[in-house]
Amino acid sequence: MQHLDEGTIHSWLDGALSADEAARAEAHVKECPACAAAVAEARGFIAGSSRILMALDNAPRGVIPAVAPRKRFDPIVWRIAATLLVVAGGTLVVVRNIGNERNAASTATDNKAVSNPAAALAPAAEADVPPAMVSGAAASQSTAPVAKTAAAPTPVLEFPKKGVPTDSRLDVLPSKRKPIAAGGNVGAGAAMQRENAVSLSAGALSAGPPSAAKSNAPAPSAPLFAPSRVLGAVMADADAAAESPPPRVVGTPRAIGEKRTLYEVAPGDTVLLAEVVQTQLSAFAVTGAGTEPRQTAEKSGARANPGAAKAAAAPDTQPRTVQPLSAPAAAPLGRTMSAETSNGVTTITWIDPATGTTMRLSGKHSREELEGIRRRIEQARAAAAAQKKSP
Amino acid sequence: MTDVERLFRTYNAALVRYLTRRLGDRDWAEEVAQETFVRALRQTSIQNERAWLFAVATNLVRDEARKDMRRRKHLALLAEEERDTMVEPEETTIERAQEAAMARKAVDALAERDRLALLMREEGLDYNEIAEALQLSPGSVGTTLSRARRRLVESYEALQKSREEREKNAAS
């Protein structure tokens, strides 16, 4: 008998051969080491493909698999959060999503004098506490600091996508949410606003999904497409946005303690921008009496030192969103502190004046060229921030 | 007249799993499965129930996918755009989610016929049922399945390998 072909082997293993054919196949495999090996391989493929297909069974609900999933999970934040929770007892620890900084920044600019109330609450030295006083509606997930400071009534809508948004955040802070809901007038209302509400100009749709991809939702398969609050804005002028401004972001390599962005300044020519990230713990508040002074301060509007607030916001900021470079009278650019060259790669370091973030740009260029690239990047980022700000 | 309730009880779980694997979305899968049973309701007689249900579900997906194409393209564009304009926070991916993503990619890389045959086989359809649902000759099902399984495993392993290399490069 001639060797078994792969299809026959699979048919045999799947029990699809007639009794006669199966007997013949079995007899042949006993005598033929090559076919025995092929049968073993086929068994491996059958088991392997079943296992791979089983990985698909935890598909999330209500998502469209248009793009590869992007999941984010930051264990460090949770370690810090857990530690503080244990130590502080009745204290609420809040991890806020990074994407919200634009709101904080615009709030800071809108108010002539903004203090960093977090500074008064010692452990939050590095945290940016959005000036949100959420009263009875503290649990409302669509209340945002900006919504309060905006002059016009701002429609704030939950993103209607089913399944993903609310649940995923509830998963994030299930235990911490309850006290807020029960607490009535709780200063930590800001906590719940993780990227949760957005104000666009009047009449515009404001969609604020807590981007599930950014959350720590334990679901093994994060949604494949996680529209963020930016989406509404982007949708408004998708065409305009389709042209990515040079230099183009070509990647965000991972590194601990730094946010890295790879820019392509010319075809095949990339530079690496590194921003030092100190922490992602972004909001911290104490319930009870401790909140009173802060509330008073905010209500009276006697907030000072916006710079401090911005600087404090820096660690978990998406710098592009807070850089005031989009304004015509932009703050002076941070001066380059150092420039060094090794192996043909020059690195320049400076501190972003808007955020206080230490920035490093390196690439195979001269220092002057890098300075030029830096300006281009900052312009591109400022433009992107401006675009997000005014859809 | 087909007893739809019996059909539903017998085949719904397998059909939904098949569709979930096919579509990557449980809600969508359930909708398509329900529509499949609604279609069954309109039939006076169905010869091979399982093959019929899987064939109809497969066709429904195909039709809907066609309708959906435009919307998806738009969303994909937006998602890509958003990635370009955002600085990603540091992320530690969940192992299982990564596996699911790779599995999705590997399954999507298969030829449509291979993929459907394999997914149907995983739900227990025999070779004749698969042949009927996909309008293949029964003799070619073994070949189709062997090719599908080999390619799936190989492309999954390739994805795994390139991921490991990426991680090694990122670490160094």
**Does residue B119 register a pLDDT over 90?**
yes
Within A184-260, residue ranges assigned H as helices are: 230-236, 238-241
Helices (H) and strands (E) in chain B, counts: 7, 0
B103 touches chain A (CB under 8 A): yes
Distances in Å between the Cα of A61 and the Cα atoms of A349, B27, B38, B115, B166 are: 45, 5, 22, 22, 30
Using one digit for the tens of pLDDT, what is the confidence trace for A53-69? 998 887 666 555 444 44
Q: Tokens representing B79?
A: 């998602």
> At which residue do the structure tokens 């086989």 appear?
B121
B86 touches chain A (CB under 8 A): yes
Strand spans (E) along chain A: 91-94, 248-251, 258-266, 269-276, 283-286, 336-342, 345-351, 358-363
B172 touches chain A (CB under 8 A): no
Q: Which of B78, B95, B132, B151 is the mutation pick for testing A, counting most A CBs within 10 A?
A: B78
Distances in Å between the Cα of B129 and the Cα atoms of A184, B23, B38, B49 are: 61, 21, 21, 9
Residue of A369, A346, A378, A352 whose CA lies nearest to A276? A352
Name the residue facing B97 among A45, A69, A163 (closest C-beta): A69
Strand spans (E) along chain B: none
Q: Do B92 and A75 touch (CB under 8 A)?
A: yes
Residue of A97, A280, A114 whose CA lies nearest to A190? A97
**Does residue B44 register a pLDDT over 70?**
yes
B165 touches chain A (CB under 8 A): no
pLDDT of residue A197: 37
Query: Does the structure's ipTM exceed the value 0.90?
Result: no
Residue of A84, A180, A85, A200 whose CA lies nearest to A139? A180
Using one digit for the tens of pLDDT, what is the confidence trace for B65-114? 666 666 666 666 666 666 666 554 444 357 778 888 899 999 999 999 99
**Rounded Cα–Cα distance for residues B26 and B16 (Å):** 8
pLDDT of residue B167: 85
Q: Which of B90, B130, B155 is the mutation pick for testing A, counting most A CBs within 10 A?
A: B90
Measured between CA atoms, the residue of chain B closest to residue A226 is B79
Name the residue facing A231 among B27, B82, B148 (closest C-beta): B82
pLDDT of residue A348: 87
A28 touches chain B (CB under 8 A): no
Please name the residues between 56 and 75 in chain A that touch chain B, using a CB distance below 8 Å: 56-75
Residue of A18, A9, A16, A57 whose CA lies nearest to A36? A9
Q: Which of A21, A50, A64, A97 is the mutation pick for testing B, counting most B CBs within 10 A?
A: A64
On whether the CB atoms of residues A373 and A380 are closer than 8 A, the answer is no
Alpha-carbon distance A301 to nearest alpha carbon in chain B (angstroms): 32
Please name the residues between 212 and 251 in chain A that touch chain B, using a CB distance below 8 Å: 214, 219-222, 224-225, 227-228, 230-231, 234-235, 238, 241-242, 244, 248-249
B26 touches chain A (CB under 8 A): yes
Cβ within 8 Å of residue A234, ≥6 positions away: A241, A391, B78, B81, B82
- The pTM of this model reads 0.39
A78 touches chain B (CB under 8 A): no
Give B13's contacts in chain A (Cβ within 8 Å). none
Name the residue facing B107 among A14, A56, A63 (closest C-beta): A56
Give the burial class of B156: count Cβ atoms within 10 A of its Cβ; 0-12 exposed, 13-18 middle, 19 or more buried.
Answer: buried
Name the residue facing B126 among A8, A16, A316 (closest C-beta): A16
Residue of A125, A142, A126 whose CA lies nearest to A134? A142
pLDDT of residue A24: 94
pLDDT of residue A357: 78
Give B107's contacts in chain A (Cβ within 8 Å). 52-53, 56
Give A217's contacts in chain B (Cβ within 8 Å). none
Mean pLDDT by 10 residues, chain A (391 residues): 90 95 94 95 95 83 51 65 72 50 49 42 41 39 40 41 39 39 38 38 38 40 40 39 56 74 76 72 50 44 45 43 39 64 81 78 83 83 74 52
Name the residue facing A49 among B17, B96, B152 (closest C-beta): B152
Name the residue facing A230 among B82, B121, B149 (closest C-beta): B82
- How many residues make up chain B in this entry? 172
Give B104's contacts in chain A (Cβ within 8 Å). 56, 65, 224
Residue of B83, B76, B152, B90 whose CA lies nearest to B116? B152
Cβ within 8 Å of residue A12, ≥6 positions away: A4, A21, A22, A25, A26, A39
Q: How many CB pairs under 8 A join A and B?
A: 220
**Rounded Cα–Cα distance for residues B136 and A61 (Å):** 32
Cβ within 8 Å of residue A37, ≥6 positions away: none
A259 touches chain B (CB under 8 A): yes
